[in-house]
Each structure stands twice: as C-alpha cells, then as structure tokens.
Structure 1
Amino acid sequence: MPSLVVHPPTSNRSPVALALLLLGTLAGCSGLPDEPAAQLTAQATPPLSSGPATQALPARWWQLYRDPQLDLLVEQALSHNQDLEAAAAHVDALLARLEQVEGERQPSTRLAYSVGYGRSRDDQTLAQASGEQADAEWSHAPGFSLSYTLDLWGEMRYRLAAARADAQAARALEDEWRVTVAAQTTRAYGQACVYAFSRQVQRHSVQVLERSVDVTRRLQKAGAATALDLARLNGLLEETRAPLPLLAARHQAALYELAVLSGLPPLAVARQTCAQRPQLQAPLPVGDGWALVQRRADIRRAERQLQSATLAIGIARAALYPRVTFGAALASSASSLGKLGDSEALVYSVGPLLSWRFPQRGVARAQVGQRRAQAREAQARFDGTVLSALKQVEQALVLYQAEQQRRQALQAALDHSQQAFELATRSYRAGALDALHLLDSERRLVTLQATLARADLRLINRQIDLFQALGGGWQRDDQPQPLPLAALGAKP
C-alpha cells in the first residue's frame, strides 16, 4: 500500500509533521488487527460410514451409468439451464463489484476548466475601494486535484477481502445449482426410462392376460371352465390395463421436465428415450466420506459467508477512527487566458486532510456490535451446514443400501412368482388346477412386476440422492478463471 513519508525539520515542527505525529499515535492506539478478527478453523467432524467402494467419486458421476443419451442430456442442461444462467449473471455482478472496490483503492483525480464573462467579487470590492467602476471581463478557472485516502485502519483491505469472499460465495452458489441441475436431469431421465419400461411390462402383462382370457373362453365352451372363471379373468385384465394411461402421462411429464431443464420449451422435447432403467455399470464409489463432503458447494458457500461476516467487523471498526486523505490541488488565478501560465497566478495546495465525526461514534460502536452478532450467526450457520451435510450423506447411504436390499428381495420374489405362474398354467391346462388358483398366481405375478418397477425408480432416486449429498457434479472442463484481482495476494 502506498505510504507517505515526511522528514520534518529538527526545529519548529511544521503543521504537517504535527498532523502525521498525531496520526501515528492514533494508529498505535487503535488496536485493530492486521488480519481478520477471526480465523476459520478446521471443525472436528465424525467419520462417515464406509461405503460400497473406496474409489473417489468421479466429477461426472452420471457417467457411471454409461448411458450416452444421459450424458448428452446432462451436458445440455449444464450448458443451457436458465437457473444456471441466472446464477452465472449473479457471479458476474459480484465480480464487477469486486473490481469497483479494487478501483476505489486507487487515487482519484479531477480535472476542471471553467470560463465565464462578468464581474468577480474581488473586482467589485476593489472598485468600491478606489471609487471606480469595475469592468466586465472574461475569466478562466482551470484546476486539477488529486486525492488518496490513507488506509491506516485497514478499511479498504477489509472491504476488498469481503468483496472477494462474497464473489466466491456466489460462485459456490452457482456450483450448488450445477449439482442440483445434474441431479434433476438424471432423476427426470430415470423416471422417463422407468415409466417407459413399466409401460412395456404392463403391456406384456395385458397380453398374457388376454391370452388367458382366450384360453378360458375356449375352455368354457368345452365345459371345462365356468362363466365365473371368465368374469374374474376379465376383471383382472381391465385392472391390469388401467395403469397404462397414467404411465404414459408420467412418461411424457418426465420428458417435459427434461426439456425445461435443458432450457427448451416443454413441447420441444425429443421423443426418443430409453426403454430400460439406468443401471450402474460400476460399483458405487464413496471413498473417504469427509473428504467428499468437503467438496460440497453449500459448505464452501457457508465458509465464504462466514469469512465475509468476520471481515465486516473490521470494516465497521474502521469507522471509529478518523479518515485521513492526502490531497494535492493545482489551479490558476489568472484573469485572462494569456496569463494562465504565469508563476504569479499559480495556486497549489498539498497536505493531509483529517476528518473525524465525533457525534457518530455511538452509531459506529452499535454497527460493530451488529457485525459481531452477524459473524456469530454466520459461524452457527456454517457449523449447521457441516452437520447437515454429514447427516444427509449418512441418511443417503443407509436408505440406498436398504432400497438396494429391498429390490433384490423383490426380484427374487418375482422370479419365484414367474416360476409358480408357469407351473400353475401347465397344471390348469392339464386340468389339475382350478381357475381360481391360476387367477391368484397371475394376479400375484402382475402385482410383483408393477412393484418391482416402482422399486427400480426408488433405487435410482436413492442413488441420485447419495451422489447429490456427496457434492459431485459441479466440476466442468471450462473451469472458471481465477477471480480477476490483485486482491488475491492482498491479505486483509
């Protein structure tokens, strides 16, 4: 930071020297720290539960599904989502504010030139004293001034560091939106796939039941089945056909969601989609839980907000002390354009300006107390964010493992039900089993198929919840440029 060094004479100290001596005394008594009033310290956190695998979570976790269409949809959403565009604009606004604060540290200059025709007050006074009449004439008033506020109390350094922290918090918020958009896109894609697959399963069940109805109808004509058997099968057929319109509507709604996430109108969605549920093609990597939680954007944002709130204390405390401005001014008192350069007309002034608003110290002290309370609030929010992150990861792990076990059990039940239905069908056609038992077997098979499809969707959602809790998905190839600051090297 620029400094002003003045060597006063050994005797008869000048007013400038006395002012600087006073400023040095005030600076020594201020008690303001050279660094922020509070430093961020590492928080002790409990370890997370061990996960299914110890590999690091990839930056693009959705690529674990190895689905090119999903990869394309997520990349489109990250490039064209309107919420992300708004978050990026917010970051740009804070970066511009950061440049403004950086510019305020530099000396300010003013260049002026005015010209007028008439009589000045001095001319009138002279004319009255001499008993003559003052003549009107052209007057010129050029001037140049330079002022620089000495940052004795660190106010500008605190403001610059706080602005940098605010910009970094905004960038972390943008990263949070990237995590959310990636998760929402994957979730909507999974829903579209599961609903499409469920429609296929439901249609297949309808086809199987239609064949059973035809067989039962023929058996009824042959006297081997009753009208009651046929009525029951027809009822099950219509019950199985009933979910088809809702599945189609949910599939279309998921496609609309994908379109809007990609920044497109809902009706502009592509009609092509998968017909199988997305499945992880590699073990779910969790690795070191706390190291992964640290990459969460909400924790980084809370940390930057805490830093900004802490620095605001220093900004408020600086108002308790006088503001010192070093200034220089150059002007001319010439009465005509030809005399502007005469040394007799040169007017200049150099020296410090000390301003101190004593009646406002009570307000300044109240603002310091307010900033301290806000810093405590930011600290509590940061601690709460860390604890919440740990909770979300633990919950996501437990629920995902439970959902995975539930689906495995449902798959085993469906396999057994499929085997039982095939045996019941052969026994019914051979006359060894009545139609009621065949109907129960068929109803059980259809119910388990629908339940397994819903379990597929729940499992995908649990996977996405876990990935989102671990904070993945905000990294990108075009990493944002470092904040455009000389401030990166200027510690508050």
Structure 2
Amino acid sequence: MSELMSFRVQAIRRLPAATTLLVLALLVGCTVGPDYEKPSISTPDAWHSVIANEVEGEAPAPLQTWWTIFNDPVLNELIEEARESNLNLEMALVNVREARAKLAMKGGAELPEVGLSANVSRTKVSDNGILSQVAPAGGFSSQGLFVFGLDAAWEIDVFGRITREVEAEGARYEASIEDYRDVLVTLYAEVALTYIEIRSYQEHIANAQANIKVQMDSLDLTEERFNDGLTSELDIVQAKSNLYTTEAAIPQFRIRLNAAYNRLAVLCGQDASTLRSRINASSTLPLPDMEIEAGLPADLLRQRPDIRRAEREIAAATAMIGAATAELYPRFAIQGSIGLDSRSIGTQFDATSLAWTLAAPMHWNVFTAGRVQDNIDIKSEQQQKAMLEYRLSVLQAIEEVENALVSYNESRIRLGHLKQAVKATETAVELVTVQYDSGLTDFNNVLDMQRALYEQQNKMVSSSTEATRSIIALYKALGGGWMTLDGKVIASANPVVSSPQ
C-alpha cells in the first residue's frame, strides 16, 4: 500500500461513522446515465438541382448579409430597422436572458446553501401546566433567549443528478440562442419578401396606368373615326369597356399594397406612414446584381438555427435521462449549523454560548412502486422524439433548399421568355393601332393586342417577383442572416447572445 493511500485510510478511520460513509460515497461517485454524442445524419454530397452549379459564382453574396445582392439602400435600411425594433426579436432575446438566468439558478444547486438566522424570544412556563408539581413557590419566571447563527446545507452530487440537470439546462439555454437566431433569419426574410411584394404591386399599378394611357388614346382614336363616319359606335363602346376593365384592376392592387405597407410597419416596429414616404420614392423591383451562394447540403447542419436547436434539444433530453437515473441511487449531503445561544444579551458573545451541529444525512428511495424507472422510460422516449425531430428538420431543410433552387431557375427561364413576349407585343400594339387608323384592320385586333400586352406585362412582373422570392426563400432555407465567428453573432444579434461551443 502506498504512503498516500495509507494516509487516506488512516484519515478515514478517524472520521465519525456518518462522515466516513459520505467520504466513501464521494470516492466511488460517478455521473450515471448516457453521455451525449452528437447525432450523425447523412446528407447529399451536392444539391440535386442543376442550377446549384450555376448559382455559385466567383463573387457570391455572403450568407450572413444576403440581402446586399439586391443593391437596394432602402431594403438595407429596413433590415437594420427590423433588427433594432422588431418586437418578436426582442421577445426572443428576452427568452435567451430568461434561459440564461435558469441556467445560473440551476448551477447554484452545485454549491452549498448558507443561511443567517437570529431570534429574540421571551417565554414563561405555565404554573398550572405539566410542570406544576415542580413549580417554585412564586411560580415560574419568564425567561429570555437570544439566538444568532449560521445554517449550511450542501448536497453532494455523488451520482451526477445535479450535474445532469445543469447539463440539460445549459443545452436548453443554447437552444434558446438558436431560437433567437431562427427568429432573426425569419425576420430578415419576411422584411425582404414584404418589401418585394410592395415593389411588385407598385409595378402592377404602373403597368395598369401605362396601359390606361394607351387605351385612352385608342378611345380618342375610335371617337375621331366615328365622327368622321369611318367606324361604328361599337368600336367606341369596346374601347370604353377595355379601358374601364383596366382601371378596375388598380383598386385591388392598392388594397394589397396598403396591407403590405402595414405588415412591413409591424415587422420594422414603426409607423406605416413613415415607410410610405420612403418607399414611394422609387417603384423599381430589385433584382440580384451578383451570383448567389448555395453551399453544400452538409453546411445546413452548421448553419440553420432550427437544426442547431433540434440538436441541442437532443443534448438536453439525453442529460435528463441521467438525472432520472440518479434517482435510483442514494443522495448524500452535509448539513451543519453554528451559532450563539444565551439567556442574557450580556453573555451572548461569550465562548460558553457557542452551539453547533454537524450531520451527514443520506436518503435513498428504496421503494417507489416503479415510479423512478417509469420516469427514466419517459425521459428515454423524449430523447428519441428529439432525435426524430432533428432528423425531420434536416430533411425539411434539404427539401426547402432544393425547391427554392428549382423555383429560382425556372422563374428566370420564364422571365426571359416573358420579356421577349412583352417586347414583341408592344411592337404588335403599335402596328395594329397604325393599321386600324389606316382602316386596314378592325378594332377587335387592337383590343386583342392591348389585352395581351397588359396580361403579359403582369405575368412578367409576377415572374420577376417569383424569381426574387425564390432567392429570398433560398437564403432563408440556408439559414442566412447570421454567422459564428470567434463565438459571436455577426450582423445580427445583441452581444448578450453568444455562440454555443
């Protein structure tokens, strides 16, 4: 036996029996339950969509500031204002601070609890009570008692129950950070989508107004030809019908435009009238002026907050299995108190007034009718549920990215064809109008071309909007809007939110 081991044995022998039991428990203590292992899940080596190779250029937009690809100062300002003033984001940050406070509170269970107590009392025993036979001739006198002391209790985490609970709370705190980031990613996407929607409705209204001007010119032309006896009143009525139909479309666009303004105001935490004055200055629908970056499918596991949160939920659930398992074993603690008790304030602080106790209690749930094991089973099933939710979140993320890639690609192709169609139809409207004015064709051909032009212009705006929405959806699906660098959240978060390591 080594000298050190001999010394330990002799020291243990000198301890009281209860303390000896506690020390032995500490020497053999362990953290029970399964240790967390990060789940492995297979992802594709590359995106299936052929457009994935095309969207990765030499100078792609950085994922954490993807909105800069539109080169739109107004959109950049709105993103920043939403980050500073959005109430959902503020609530998510409050949740992070709450989770951090819970972690601190749970971590305090690993340390001793110390309390200070003091009491001043005066009592008198009844002369006719249970002590009446020994009462003095003049009866019992009242007596005072002055008490001042400290109480302490410390649960020794022999089998890791507290450790596992702290571990679980830490994982929940990190999950709350991912919740914050998820709100951030969604917020940026919603601001951009709503802004794009506003620009889209503005272009629809501008197209309608431009077509109204052309149709009013056609109405004037039919009236001139009617007055010259070159055509019938039918042409005038048809021209008016076409004009009024186009004018009737504008109120619907204005209703939707107003709703979009109000929704953007809520997202940015400000008044809608302020936004109108800024956004009405231009009605251009922004399009990306640089290549976009899709990355690799495996990057989703590191970037998407909902996947990161789901992984942290598995860690918390795993730790709670250990906390539940620890209930199968005994709990050990150290309790003690020290104080000064005296019947007279004058002798309160004398050495003879010192009183103290020291105890090492142990509690063991020997029989619980299976409740402890049932709780372990519950925590195990909760861990399996968390694992399934993690796998589901990965699959859904891959689905969203693939859909956004295909949508962006097909919308670009459709937009190119519609631009050619609009250009050709504009020429056709000019030609058929000249032919009608020359009497070479009837007015129905003019109406058909004007209607076709208006319809194709609206389709082109819708296709352009859809392509832009697909880009936003892609970056949202990729978890764009934040990044981790040296443990900090860049371009997104309050400094209180740190990256889980």
User: TM exceeds 0.5?
Assistant: yes
Which aligned pairs between 1:154-173 and structure 2 lie closer than 5 A?
Answer: 154-173=160-179
Structure 1 residue corresponding to 2:73, chosen from 63, 68, 71: 68
CA-to-partner distance for each residue in 1:336-357, whole Å, 9 max, x for gaps? Answer: 2233344444222234221223
CA displacement at 1:324 relative to structure 2 = 0.8
Structure 1 unaligned blocks of 5 or more: none
In the alignment, the residues of structure 2 paired with residue 82 and residue 312 of structure 1 have an alpha-carbon distance, to the nearest angstrom, of: 33
CA displacement at 1:207 relative to structure 2 = 0.4
Corresponding residue number in structure 1 for 2:395: 387
Q: The residue matched to 2:188 in structure 1 has which SS?
A: helix
Identity %: 25
Structure 2 residue corresponding to 1:46, chosen from 44, 47, 56: 44
Letter in 2 for 1:83: N
In the alignment, the residues of structure 1 paired with residue 234 and residue 363 of structure 2 have an alpha-carbon distance, to the nearest angstrom, of: 101
**Aligned CA distance change for structure 1 residues 138 and 473 (closer, same or farther; 3 Å):** same
Structure 2 residue corresponding to 1:148, chosen from 125, 147, 154: 154
Contact 1:293 1:471 in 2 (8 A): no
CA-to-partner distance for each residue in 1:436-487, whole Å, 9 max, x for gaps? Answer: 22222222112211222222222222222112111112454464447799xx
* Alignment: residue pair count: 477
In the alignment, the residues of structure 2 paired with residue 397 and residue 11 of structure 1 have an alpha-carbon distance, to the nearest angstrom, of: 73
In the alignment, the residues of structure 2 paired with residue 170 and residue 392 of structure 1 have an alpha-carbon distance, to the nearest angstrom, of: 23
Structure 2 residue corresponding to 1:58, chosen from 47, 59, 63: 63
Contact 2:301 2:308 in 1 (8 A): no
CA-to-partner distance for each residue in 1:292-344, whole Å, 9 max, x for gaps? Answer: 45311110111111111111111111111111111232133433223334444
CA displacement at 1:155 relative to structure 2 = 1.6
Q: Does 1:79 align with 2:84?
A: yes
Corresponding residue number in structure 2 for 1:102: 107
Q: The residue matched to 1:59 in structure 2 has which SS?
A: helix
In the alignment, the residues of structure 2 paired with residue 314 and residue 436 of structure 1 have an alpha-carbon distance, to the nearest angstrom, of: 80
In the alignment, the residues of structure 1 paired with residue 167 and residue 15 of structure 2 have an alpha-carbon distance, to the nearest angstrom, of: 38
Letter in 2 for 1:45: T
Contact 2:300 2:397 in 1 (8 A): no
In the alignment, the residues of structure 1 paired with residue 286 and residue 108 of structure 2 have an alpha-carbon distance, to the nearest angstrom, of: 52
Contact 1:95 1:483 in 2 (8 A): no
CA-to-partner distance for each residue in 1:109-161, whole Å, 9 max, x for gaps? Answer: 1221212122479xx99996696654322212222222211111112221212
Contact 1:309 1:374 in 2 (8 A): yes
Letter in 1 for 2:152: L
Contact 1:150 1:324 in 2 (8 A): yes
Letter in 2 for 1:32: V
Q: The residue matched to 1:450 in structure 2 has which SS?
A: helix
Letter in 2 for 1:466: L
**Aligned CA distance change for structure 1 residues 190 and 24 (closer, same or farther; 3 Å):** closer
In the alignment, the residues of structure 1 paired with residue 312 and residue 434 of structure 2 have an alpha-carbon distance, to the nearest angstrom, of: 69
Q: The residue matched to 1:111 in structure 2 has which SS?
A: strand
Contact 2:31 2:158 in 1 (8 A): no
CA displacement at 1:180 relative to structure 2 = 1.4
CA-to-partner distance for each residue in 1:370-413, whole Å, 9 max, x for gaps? Answer: 10010000001111111111111111111221122112111111
Structure 2 unaligned blocks of 5 or more: 1-6, 484-489
In the alignment, the residues of structure 2 paired with residue 440 and residue 159 of structure 1 have an alpha-carbon distance, to the nearest angstrom, of: 73
Q: The residue matched to 2:278 in structure 1 has which SS?
A: coil
In the alignment, the residues of structure 1 paired with residue 20 and residue 43 of structure 2 have an alpha-carbon distance, to the nearest angstrom, of: 55
Which aligned pairs between 1:250-289 and structure 2 lie closer than 5 A?
Answer: 250-266=256-272, 269-273=275-279, 274-289=282-297
**TM-score normalised by length of structure 1:** 0.89
CA-to-partner distance for each residue in 1:24-74, whole Å, 9 max, x for gaps? Answer: 68x46x7825xx533113311113232433246431211110110111111
Contact 1:400 1:462 in 2 (8 A): yes
Q: 430-439 vs 190-199, which deviates more? A: 430-439
Letter in 2 for 1:155: R
Letter in 2 for 1:321: Y
Q: The residue matched to 2:104 in structure 1 has which SS?
A: helix
Corresponding residue number in structure 2 for 1:117: 122
Letter in 1 for 2:411: E
**TM-score normalised by length of structure 2:** 0.87
Letter in 2 for 1:296: R
Corresponding residue number in structure 2 for 1:90: 95
CA displacement at 1:435 relative to structure 2 = 2.3
Q: 443-452 vs 346-355, which deviates more? A: 346-355
CA-to-partner distance for each residue in 1:258-305, whole Å, 9 max, x for gaps? Answer: 111111244554333231111111122223343145311110111111
